[in-house]
Amino acid sequence: MATRNLAAGAAALATCMVITACGGSGGTSLSAAGSSVSVAASSSASAPAPAPASAVAVPGATCDAEAAFVRALPLRRRLAQLLMVGVTGPSDARTAVRTYGVGGIFIGSWTDQSILSRSALKAISDLGRVPLMVSIDEEGGRVSRVPGADLPSARQMEQTMTVGQVRAEGERVGGLMSGMGITVDFAPDADVSDEPADAVIGDRSFSNDPATVTRYAQAFAAGLRDAGVYPVYKHFPGHGHGSGDSHVGAVTTPPIASMDTDDLVPFRAVAGEDAGVMVGHLDVPGLTDGLPASLSPAAMALLRTGTGYGAPPHTGPIFTDDLSGMGAISDQYPIAQAVTKAIEAGADVALWITTDHLSEVLDSLVAAVNSRRLSVAAVDRSVLRVARAKHAVTC
């Protein structure tokens, strides 16, 4: 389903978790920051025999192995699986994984390139209880972070290559990533745009024709999957006709009704694919009520269910755009508040570009669970979506 790199060791982990869940007659306790959520078995002599593990429901689980996987993680570690942080280098990454148990790390332009080797990243991943997502931005053109990629921009690819050639380029560049231990690419850009090449989306978009964007974005994503790299389409529900640059400040899109036959077309087409989707920091009239889509329950529900724009449900993980370095968010919300609002809204993975404030963020998420603003059931479903995407558990 997701990357080959993350599959190593997952079987042993799942087996251990199954044994843990099935052994003993006591309950399972999910504790964090001094609080606990418990499921206890009855000790009454007249009570029926304990139900087998398969009968003890874990929201979102489709088999015993998935249920056991979730039960084996304390609540705080489950919440950490929903965090992806930018790292400066190997030492920073090791701390984020070993100390906090984050689910993913992001390789940026500022990251020490010595981390980009399969052995270095495997050693970092092995510090955690769950295989690690290792992500990067490799769209081509001016958004290129993979050494040796030499990939043209999306617009250049559409103008000079066939769909089949773009798929081959996705596989070629995906092979470079896979060889370095990178497992997730925040690409392709599925925005529909006719902006000048150097605008915020500009030549990152394949075309201003939704059908063309759909064909080429799907081809690039398929190439990444061919190489064992998990693709993430962006920026739902469409940044290509926005009012400005969300890196700098708030951005408003056209009304949601007018996006239905334009910006939303590619996302409708890819909703059922084996891929992630990144939600942008976009205020969408008629949908988000002044909130950025990345923090909007309505935007997350539109993507997750497909109801309202004629798409199948999106069953893969939903990622936020960067929550700490983009003015559309950071001008209004400190990082702990932004992450918590995003996860409460329905995001599965909250991304920000440093490892700062990890403890504060986790405290805020635990508080959201304790206050019932964020349900344990929602956390469990997100944990499983992320785990399936990185082959940390299989049925």
Q: Please list the active-site residues.
A: 247, 321
Question: Which single residue is written with the structure tokens 């701390």?
Answer: 95
Strand-pairing partners, residue 86, are 106
Give the orientation angle of helix 358-370 with respect to helix 335-345, to 10 degrees: 40
Question: Which single residue is written with the structure tokens 């890819």?
Answer: 270
- Residue 278's SS3 state is strand
- Residue 263's SS3 state is coil
User: DSSP strand E in the chain: where?
Assistant: 28-32, 35-39, 83-87, 104-107, 133-136, 138-140, 143-144, 184-185, 230-236, 276-279, 318-320, 350-352
DSSP 249: S
Report the relative pairing of strands 104-107 and 83-87 from DSSP bridges.
parallel
Contact 393, 14 (CB under 8 A): yes
> In terms of Cα–Cα distance, which of 129, 128, 124 is closest to 93?
124
Beta carbons within 8 Å of 173's beta carbon, 6+ residues apart: 138, 140, 146, 149, 151, 223, 224, 227
Sign of the alpha-carbon dihedral angle for 256, 259, 381, 98: negative
DSSP labels for 7-45?
TTTHHHHHHHHHHHHHSSSS-EEEEETTEEEEE-----T
